[in-house]
Structures are given as C-alpha cells and as structure tokens.
Structure 1
C-alpha cells in the first residue's frame, strides 16, 4: 500500500511538471496555449511522423492544439552525427511548412525525468515542439537493433551528442527511457505512435519497438486517453485513402523534408517509390491508454499476389500452400509468429496457417506444412519486406504460370510482390488511366493520358494513336514549381496539380473535337476548366464554370461527360453524395449562347436508393440523349442499374444482380457498341482463377443491355496479361471496332520500388459479339505506368 502511494505521488509530480513544461519555455515559446488539447506523437525516425501519421498532426495543429513530436532515433542505422543534424534540419523545415511560418526555431537541451533531451520549439508557432532523444538506430533489413537490445535484453545505450560540438551524450536503459517518455506523455490528451502489433521486417524494427515502448509506458499513466497506432510500410500497396487536398498539402511537407534529407524530391511527387506511395495513405487503429494489452498482439493477415490476383492458401494439414482465388476463408488467413532470436536477425518469424496451426517449412526445395518447431531453421522466414517474402533458405516467394513458385531474389518482377491484404491498389476500382476520344476531329480515336511530373505537383497530358504504332504527342503541360522553402501551398489559387484534380474528355464546344475538362476545388465550390482541342494540342485552361459552395469535389462520387441534352455538345454530370443516402444527379450544360461557358448545375434526379459507390458508365445512341448505367458492388455481389434520360430529368430503374461468379473486387467494366454503332453492351473483365495453371489469363464477358437477358455471356479470353495491370476501353471509329487495353508492361523492380514498367497500348479488333482478333501491340508510352494512374471516384 505504501509503495503504491509513493508511486501515485511520484507520478502526479511528474505529470504536474510536464503540464507546466510549456509555460516556462524560453523566449517567445511562452505564448503557447494548449487549451484546445495536447497531441504527443512518438515515432522512431525523423520522417515517420510525416510519412505515416500526417495529415493527422496537421489537422490538430490547424485546430489550435499543441503538438509535441518525439523522435526516439537520431539519424539512421550507422549514421554519423552530421546526418543526425541533417535530418533534424529537414524535420524543422517540414514542420515550419506545416505551420505556415518561417523556419526559425529555439533550440535547447532540457532535462526530462533526469535525462537531457534536445528540444526545438517553432518561434512563430510555439505550440509546435520537437523532442529528439537521439538514440542509435537499427537496420531496416537486418542487423543490429539497439532499441531492441535496450527494451528486450535490458542493455544500456549511449545517445548521439546533445550539443552541436559533439558533447553531452546520455545513457539510457529500459527504466530511464520509460521514465523520460512517461513524463513527455503525461500532459497528452491524445497520443499517436506507430504499429506495435507486427514483426520485423514487415515494418522497420525501430518502428515496432518505438510503438511497443510507447504503448507500454502509456498504460502506466493512470488515465484514459486515446492512443492511435499507425501502420507503416505495408500501406504503400494499399488503396489511397486521404482526401485530395490533404494529399497535396502532405506532398509539400514531405517534399520540403526530403529537399534536405536526400536533396531531391522526385520520388515524393510520384507513386513509383515507397516514399511517394505512403503520402496518399494513412491507416491506423485506435485504443485507449487504460486498456491493458501485451506488448505484442498477433493479427491474422492475408498474403495477396497482385500479378496473379490470388491469395496464399493452406489446402490442409501436411499439404503444401498454393495460390487460390481469394475467398477470405480461414485457409487464407496467416500469422507471422515471432521467434526467439537476437534483435535484428532476419529469420525471425514462422509462417503459421490460422486454419491448421501448422508452420510452413522449406525442405529440399519444396514447401511443406508441418508441426511448428521454433528452433527448426527450415521454418524460419523473413516476413514481408517491401513486398518480398523470403523463404527459410532465402529464396523469394512468387507466382509463375498461375502457381506458387520460389526462386533466387535477383531481377524480380511484380510477380514476386505480395501485399498483406487482398484489398490493394491492384483491385482499387476507383482508379482510372487513359481516356478515349477523337481529339483531332479526324474520326479516329486516341488515348489521352496524364503523367505526373517529378519536379513538382504538375502533370503532362499526352495523346496516343489507337490506330497505329506512333510516338504519343505532348498536348498540354501543367507546370507547377515546387519551392521547398515556401510556407504557402504549391497548389494554391488556380494552379492545377495532379493529386487535386479530376479529368474528363468530351466535345464540350460542339466542333467535332474532344476537349479536356479539368475539375478542381476553388473558392469553396468547384471549378471546371475547359482546355479546348486545337487539333494538335489542348489550349490553355479557360474557366468554363464556377459553382457555388453547394458543390464540392470532396462530395462528388464521380463526374461524367456526355451529350445529355442531344445538343451536339457534351455536358457534365455531377453525382454528388446526398446528406441522407444515395446520390443526387446534377447536370451542367454548355450555355446556348456561348459554347465555352457552362450553365449552373440543374438537379436531374434524387437517387436516394442508388449506392454511393457506383461507377457511372455512359450509354449513348447517335442523335439521342445519353443515359447511364450504374455498376456497384454490395454484399459480395456485382449489380447494375439503368438510369434513363428523359430530358431535364433522369429516372433510376431497378437494380439487377449479376451471378456470384462476378466478384465485385475483381471485375473491371466498360461500355461498348459491340453489336453496331447504336448498341450498348456492358463488357466485364475478370481474372481467370480456376486451376488450369495458365499464366496471366483474363476472361471477358458481355451483357447486351438491349436484350431480354440479364446474364453475362463469355465472349473472349486474353492471355499473357495480368488483370491488375489493364484498363479496358471499347472504341469504334473509321478503323472499325476494338477492345483497347491501356496496360502496364512488367519490368525488373528496384529494392524500394512498389511497381515497375512503362504504360503500353494494345488493340484487339472486334467482330460482331466481341469476337476478338489477334492483339495489335501499339507500343510502350513515355514515363511510368504508376504515374498515369489516378483516382477517378471517391468510393468503390
């Protein structure tokens, strides 16, 4: 009882000191007011908070909170003190940009629970404080992990110097680190950290240990506060889940950081390397500090191969794992169970089937399921490492000819990349690539696609022939300079940036040439910028329509361009989320008196029962008003709904559910005049997932919307293609009808590259009923495939 009372008095005293901490900061920092709340973020490295936690930090700062970010690790594995200082300088610049103030700081060493900690307080915004413990770091892919030695084996660590002259190093053991962190966490009304419930090297060992230390200490605070854990590395292959405006701001902040730590930011403005992939994502799970849990909680995962669109499957006890169609069954649930190893050992986990509780071993070049033995080297795996899975004998797990395979870990392609969940970019059906239209007015269709620029947030627009092999032409460039020292947003005002706009193609002025429309947030509403086709390029943007604040891009599921009024000019349909349920369908049409000006949107339908995640496809008949087909997935079933255009209003029909073989996550759809110019056919592409063992096979089915049947019929099979890498369009022009695929060509991957390969075009001439002819390869296109992929809808 007496010792408990002493601990209570001690903890209360530490908490009071921490609460007073901000009130006695030197200089202008005394002005900090933390009445709105105090966020304490604890991460390992000096970019973890920016890449994996933000924009959650920015949101609290904008709301008037005090934010304290704690970096446990100085520099990186094996770095010298100069690199520690470089990373801190980069972090200061990023946080100054986050706060929108000059990069001027008050630096000092402060004593917290008896330990010196390097503190940096932003002069113009003293609510921003960075605390640097400067512990030595561990390696990302195996090797010594000092924080693991401290926490798990009770070692003592010596920090980097606290003073610029190389003096004042501090010793930490487990108790000392816990006491220091407890004092820092005491005033927190909200705590952010990384993911404690995983194993190296799915995430960096320093990430995991930092999160475990933080959770452990937070549970000793004697209060209930929310604590949020952030997943790190695996999110790079997951669907982007941040709003466009937040992504754009985050890219600025992170690019400012990497302008110092790395001296270039090209990877930040793209999605071809991990840093860039992480920016448009934030995945987290919540708990409270008064809920006691172990340092590690095991969560089942899936292992999903995007190239094959299949999951790792356990057929049964004693049988080797296979690749199979993803069902979500227990046979496709796995655990990485940590093994007793020295911190930093790469062979640190057992691959365990949730259904059978057996471990997967590698023996004589084959995989086999057997009783787990944590001391058996044949069962010691290196788990998911930037998408690669290393077997006990250091082979890489992958897919070949539709089957599970192993090989040496050099010159790998995306067939050897794995994700820890089936829900990935590979089946994110919100994504779009090329648009198709007659941009030259020559009765010939072209593919129009957008490429990110790597020196800033702008983009290039290319047009490529769909009739012959020819180099694509640059039709428009939106150059948006990036200044790492700026405090204002790169994409402020009327600047058009890749991540914050959406694109439409249509003949908006009625001159027979398809124009480009760019949709962006502006003045609290939505701006529609028209780039008219001049036959060989798109002209500079003109403001076609500025809406009221009632219309916002972040409320619009989808924009659709088509001739909804039968006036010979395209209008824009706005499918906006309703406050209650479903969507409102609004149409903004060109003004009769001015072809290059749009009229205010008019409400054409209140579709309360239409699912919000629909994909709206245009249904056209020559000389008539365009109507719509809405495709959606719910409760594991794919369905479509006809939406009739009656002139100034639309009527939503009944929802028709397709056979269960069409799994919503694995169906790509397009519309086409398959049976003649005025026919309308739904074309559905699915990965071929039976046990035939064929590599890269896509099944194509058609659904004739003019017929009495509502069941799709098989139409064609495409070979040597990965379903996740193709985006279909059906075209009909003076060269005939064809199924077009804008696709990714496979390529050897670098260590930290999520995807590889250039975009390419393939044309499949179509006879009646989608009888496809031999593929015509129209060649590779400039740039990277990943840089042509953009989000076209809000939800899927």
Structure 2
C-alpha cells in the first residue's frame, strides 16, 4: 500500500526527531539525564562531611548497589572555626569517597540551587547521577565545648550565616529554625528511607553537631505527613563496641574512608588500623530504627551502664547518701544510669547530671568525694561533663577511673585505659571472638614460638612476626603481605587474590607433615573459599600457594570458625570448617591434608543442636587424632559440649552448663596438656570480681572436658593485670609446660586513641598440679597491641 505524501513527511520528521534525541542523549553527560529513582530514594542527613562515611555506611553503599538514588545532606561546612578553603577541601574529599563508593570517575556537576527559597550547594556524580550531595555549609561547633551554632539556632532561635555558596566567596545564606526546617522538609519529601545520627544522647558523649543534626532531622521528618522508615546512628561510642560488620564490607569501607582522608588530612594511616578512633568506627555500624510518623520529643533519655574495661566492673549505686562503687556487672537497677541534660547554653561543658535509675538521685562531687543526693539542676556540684572518646569528667573536672579494682578520681593528664568508660559492658574488650597470637613449632626443633599478624599502617595488608618462647628475643618478620592503597582507584584494594588483614582469617599448623608449623590464610575467592598455605622453612614463611579452593557451597561469611588440627592421625593438620546451617546449628566439615594440597571438605557431623556462637577448642593428643570441645553461650550461661573424633566423623557428647560465675562475656578459654602430653584440660581465665583483693585481677580455673562430672577447679590467680588485656595459651616444649599470655602493656592515652600500649609476652612455668611459677617477661613486641587483635569467629 502506498503512503500519502503528507504522512510520509510526518513520519520522516518524527523519525528524525527521535534520531536527534538519541544523538543528544549520547553526547550529554550522564548527570544531565534524569536519574531513575524507582527502586527507592535514600536521604541521609548528617552534620559533618565524614559522618556519613564513618557512622552510616555501608548502609548507603548497600542502597546504591541496589539501584537506589542516594542524597546525602551535610549541614556543617568544614569544622569549628575553619576557613572557606577547608570547607572546599572536605567537599573535594567527600566527592572522591562517593565516586569510589559508586565505582566511577571522580567527575561531578556542581551548582548552587534554590530549595524552599534558600541556596544550597549541589554536587551530582556525572557517571552515576543517582548520587547527589547537598551542602548547607553552616558553621560548626566544637567537639569539646564552646560556641555551638547549630544548637543556638535550634534552641535559642538564633540566625546563622553560612559559608559562601559560590567559589568566589559570594552568596552567603541566612538560616533560622523555620527556614532550615522548611528547606530540609523539601529535601526529605521524596525519601523512601531516611538515615541520620543519634538524637538521644547528650554532648559530649557524641559531638553536639551530631546530636542537633539528628534532632532537627527527626523533627522535620515528623512534619512530612507520611510514614517513612528512619534510622538513627550512634557515633563516637561505637569505637569501643564489638565490630559488627562483615569482613568484605569492612574492607570496602576502609577503601572509601581512606580515599576521603587522603584529601582531608592528607594521609590515611589511621584508617587502616584500630589504634585511633577513625579506624575503629569503620568496622562498626550501630543504629536503631523508627518511623517518621511516630511523634517523639527532641531528646529521649535512655538508661546506660558505665562499664570500666580495665576492672571488668560496672559503676554501681550504693544508695542515697553514699558514694557509688565499682561492682561485678549484674544488670540490676543499681547499675543503670541516665545522663540527664541540664539547662545550659548550647556548647557549654558541665552539661549533664548523672542520675541513678535505682534512686532517682544525682551524683555530686563535694570536697573531692562523690555522694548520692537529691537532684538540683542549678547545683554546680552535680554538673558533669560526659566526654567523647570514653573519658568522664566530674563536676570539679577530675577524671573518673579505676585503680586496683576501686573507683578513683584524679587529674586528667597522663591517663591510661583504666580511665576509659563504655555505655555498655558488651564492648570490644570482652568480645569473645577476638584472637591474637598463634603458637607452634616453626623449626621442627621441639621449641615453641608465638606467631602474630600485624596490620600494615599504610594499606590493608599485614606483616607476620614470629618470636621464640624459650627466652626474651626480638621478633623476626617472617612474611609481609604488602597491599598498596591508591585513593583514586576504582577497583577494590584487595581484589585479585591480594591477602588483606580485615578480610582474612589465620591458622597455624603442620599442614604438610614435615614437623614444622605452617601458616594458613583463609579468604573469600571465586564465590567460595580459598585456603592459602605459607610453608615454614624454619626461618620464614614462603609465598602463599593455593592449598584448597572450595565450591560456592563454602563461604567465609557462612563459616563461624576454622580450626587447624590433626583430625585424621596422619601427622598432618587439616581444617575444620564450622559452617552455619540454614535451619539451626552448624555443620562440621573437615578438609584433610594431602601435604601440599587439601582435600575437598567432607561432612563429619551435623550439629543442629549446637549454638551458632560456638567456639571450638581443639584438644591435640600427641600421636593421635584431635578431638574438640564446643564452648557456647546458651541463654546467658557458658556451656561445654565434648566432641569425639573417630577419624571419619565427629560425635557430639552431652552439653554441660558451667556454674553461673562463668559468664560467657567474661571467660577466655584455652586448652593444653596440663598433666603430661596425653592429658588435656580446659583452662578458663575470668576477671577477679569478688572484691576480697583489689590487686588480684585474673582467676584461672582448670577442668577435664571429657569427664561429665568434672567442674572447674580454681588453680591460680594473677595479680596486677587486667583480664581484658590478656589472651592465654598453653604450650608444652621439650617436656616443660607453660602458660603464655599475649597481653597489652598499659600506656598513656592520646586524645584520639582508643587503646594505648604495646603488645608483650609473659610466660609462666606450670607444674602438673598447675602451680604457676614466677612470670618470665619475654619482652615488648614492635607495634601496637590493637593492631594485632583480629576477629576469629563470626558470632559471639
């Protein structure tokens, strides 16, 4: 059929327009095209330009990976008192970090746009326009007190002037409470989900800017007229809490945050460690969820504990008229406290009352002593400064701490970790998943050595050191896994079989049967698990060789624990893989050793009734197959389950709960041949809490794990040490037995250091009835203790 001339011209013109549109779309930058936000829109509101990266991510990355549009709002420009150049520096750092998060070039469209009649600086990622940053550029407050502009705006109805909106220093914007709320309301309107910081705390536990940013966001979200999920993120205190992010997410987050600090500050070394707070925050994300249509006050007081890790004790009320004390943590109302905000000008220190939940009384400081009394918010003797980074300042500006198990106050210079406090007793110091040194005969000579893995400071790699236990000596570097960090790289630092500290787990055993202990590094690879063997030459570890690559049925993120031991009686160590089941419990697989390689894992037991938090302790009988004992947290009680081994399968015995004094959060377990090479016992270390001897810090008990009637027997006590600072092992060499402690040496704290001190080794000769000899100090080790502590298991 022939087309009419008119219709032919019309259709040709339409086709030409479509072609021109396609050509125009091809040459337009991606950011000029409309972003598809149909999967969802996440809007994150924080104070400073690193808050979102340190405290909220990887939740932002997860939404971006799922195809969401993400808008991050930074209310504060720069930092307290900074000039405009520093504001621009931090924004440049934020752009680089988000480009790395998105996996695209650091190329942005910047503009100043009007929102609800106010100018806001906007940055849109060209190659991924779903990513948008909005900068209010308001002045910030001080982390330790002083003028608090955001607080003045919110509580005193002050008017604030922003930093310039234009690069030439022009276009400052004025905000009051109403206009800031209106602008933020327009930004939040399309949100499918809202993230912000923690509104329900007091300065200076968290930065005042963090708190006010969160309160403003909550208040505005409640005016949206719809129900939107909103999550509030705890900030500073999380640095002392257990790491709770999966290894792969920690590794990715370190790359993103390190990219940021390569510009803001010009170096990233603190990001790759956990000796400074920035590094600690990376492995953690703690948040509580709500919805925007639930009405809530600006501040909701939440009870906290005040836990001292050095003493493993909690601050406890002794009743009206009495000073508080340190006591064993029992969760009672006497150990619940509230930081109640006082009527003060925003930014002032001495801004909170310490109130006992049990008595509703306040703790005052009078004539250098603490006392519980009726609250009076105008009484200066009741005005405390709850400090960021764990220090607590009394009304007379002393620091609260612990000495020999007792509560003390002293001047706030040259403090040690005995003056650090946490708002919960569940913290990094008593995280049972942590491990430090491994022990074995590296040279095949019958002499034991300690092997420890240390983070490298300028990237995600690690160094492996070995030190003999026979006498004090300097550690030797046995292997270095150098992984360079490029802040502008688009690919992950730890891709392509690179071995990195956060994404690896480590084992020590004689895997090839030559009599020398080798190092095994376990990583995720090719959708499964890779086991890398680093053979011992007697003087160093060789370069990694792939010992076993599993199928996708085995993933590190599903494996509660890896255990190295001779499970087959061949003289070669294999690997137990304790993998979480989908229904309940664990499956126990064994990858046996063929020498230079490992066999495919074989299922040796379906342990449905074991808790997924089990810690498997190998019992290595000389010349025979290793058995196991599972140490579990069962409804708040520590329980033991013996596991027998016939060389082809594992058989679980009857679970046995230990006496209540063995709290799961306060027991460190090791095992060893305490009464001859074929007589293994469990060794339990607990903090000494009965108060009878303030200098005795650690109790040691032993028990027979194979005897159903056995109970722990008090065997020894260590004086002058903090339980939270030691990791025990039992070794036997050349007929002699010893308890070895890898421990932290207490040291003066810096302002931003979570854990001071070096690592050190102490050795105690042990008799057959477990009497301890005098401490043999094997010397301090190079580097920081915190850089050698690693997570060994998934669940606690």
TM-score (norm 1): 0.96
Corresponding residue of 2:134: 131
Mapping 1:314-713, distance limit 5 Å: 314-591=317-594, 595-695=595-695, 697-707=697-707, 709-713=709-713
Name the stretch that deviates more: 739-748 or 628-637: 628-637
Q: Which residue of the other structure, out of 98, 106, 129, is the alignment partner of 2:101?
A: 98
Instruction: Tell me, yes or no, if structure 1 residue 41 matches structure 2 residue 53.
Output: no
- Give yes or no for contact 1:269–1:453 (8 Å, CA) kept in 2: yes
- Give yes or no for contact 1:43–1:211 (8 Å, CA) kept in 2: yes
**What's the secondary structure of 1:211's corresponding residue?**
helix
Mapping 1:82-97, distance limit 5 Å: 82-97=85-100
Corresponding residue of 1:117: 120
Corresponding residue of 2:779: 779
Counterpart-to-counterpart distance in 2, 1:515 and 1:694: 42
Counterpart-to-counterpart distance in 1, 2:350 and 2:33: 50
- Give yes or no for contact 1:90–1:260 (8 Å, CA) kept in 2: yes
Cα distance, 1:696 vs structure 2: 5.1
Cα distance, 1:621 vs structure 2: 1.6
**What's the secondary structure of 1:419's corresponding residue?**
coil
- Give yes or no for contact 2:656–2:708 (8 Å, CA) kept in 1: no
- Give yes or no for contact 1:696–1:722 (8 Å, CA) kept in 2: no
Q: Deviations over 1:467-511 (max 9, x none)?
A: 100000000000000000111100011000000000000000000
**What's the secondary structure of 2:311's corresponding residue?**
coil
Name the stretch that deviates more: 735-744 or 92-101: 735-744
Counterpart-to-counterpart distance in 2, 1:227 and 1:107: 28
Q: Which runs of 4+ in 1 moved over 4 A?
A: none
Long gaps (5+) in structure 1: 1-24
Q: Deviations over 1:122-169 (max 9, x none)?
A: 000000000000000000000000000000000000000000000000
Corresponding residue of 1:282: 285
Counterpart-to-counterpart distance in 2, 1:206 and 1:29: 34
- Give yes or no for contact 2:674–2:680 (8 Å, CA) kept in 1: yes
**What's the secondary structure of 1:551's corresponding residue?**
coil
Q: Deviations over 1:602-622 (max 9, x none)?
A: 000000001111110111222
- Give yes or no for contact 1:29–1:121 (8 Å, CA) kept in 2: no
Corresponding residue of 2:54: 51
Corresponding residue of 2:792: 792
- Give yes or no for contact 2:342–2:352 (8 Å, CA) kept in 1: yes
Instruction: Tell me, yes or no, if structure 1 residue 306 matches structure 2 residue 289.
Output: no
Cα distance, 1:27 vs structure 2: 6.7
- Give yes or no for contact 1:702–1:712 (8 Å, CA) kept in 2: yes
Cα distance, 1:706 vs structure 2: 4.8
Cα distance, 1:31 vs structure 2: 3.4
- Give yes or no for contact 2:29–2:127 (8 Å, CA) kept in 1: no
Corresponding residue of 1:66: 69
Counterpart-to-counterpart distance in 1, 2:366 and 2:55: 38
Cα distance, 1:223 vs structure 2: 0.2
Counterpart-to-counterpart distance in 2, 1:352 and 1:709: 46
Corresponding residue of 1:11: none
Q: Deviations over 1:97-129 (max 9, x none)?
A: 000000000000000000000000000000000
Corresponding residue of 2:257: 254
Cα distance, 1:74 vs structure 2: 0.2
Instruction: Tell me, yes or no, if structure 1 residue 152 matches structure 2 residue 186.
Output: no
Cα distance, 1:636 vs structure 2: 2.1
Corresponding residue of 2:83: 80
Counterpart-to-counterpart distance in 1, 2:737 and 2:284: 39
- Alpha carbons of 1:534 and 1:34: their partners in 2 closer, same or farther (altered >3 Å)? same
Cα distance, 1:624 vs structure 2: 1.4
- Give yes or no for contact 1:680–1:706 (8 Å, CA) kept in 2: no
Corresponding residue of 1:161: 164
Instruction: Tell me, yes or no, if structure 1 residue 739 matches structure 2 residue 739.
Output: yes
Counterpart-to-counterpart distance in 2, 1:547 and 1:27: 41
Corresponding residue of 2:14: none
**What's the secondary structure of 1:561's corresponding residue?**
strand
Q: Deviations over 1:516-558 (max 9, x none)?
A: 0000000000000000001000000000000000000000000
- Give yes or no for contact 1:384–1:418 (8 Å, CA) kept in 2: no
- Give yes or no for contact 1:308–1:696 (8 Å, CA) kept in 2: no
Q: Which residue of the other structure, out of 139, 143, 146, is the alignment partner of 1:143?
A: 146
Counterpart-to-counterpart distance in 2, 1:112 and 1:472: 61
Counterpart-to-counterpart distance in 2, 1:634 and 1:529: 34
Cα distance, 1:769 vs structure 2: 2.1
Corresponding residue of 2:9: none
- Give yes or no for contact 2:364–2:381 (8 Å, CA) kept in 1: yes
Corresponding residue of 1:238: 241
RMSD (Å), alpha carbons: 1.0
- Give yes or no for contact 2:758–2:781 (8 Å, CA) kept in 1: yes
- Alpha carbons of 1:129 and 1:534: their partners in 2 closer, same or farther (altered >3 Å)? same
Aligned length: 769
Counterpart-to-counterpart distance in 2, 1:686 and 1:542: 39
Name the stretch that deviates more: 610-619 or 689-698: 689-698
Long gaps (5+) in structure 2: 1-27
TM-score (norm 2): 0.96
**What's the secondary structure of 1:345's corresponding residue?**
coil
Cα distance, 1:639 vs structure 2: 0.9
Cα distance, 1:30 vs structure 2: 2.0
Q: Deviations over 1:295-316 (max 9, x none)?
A: 1111000000000000000011
Counterpart-to-counterpart distance in 2, 1:721 and 1:692: 16
Name the stretch that deviates more: 388-397 or 685-694: 685-694
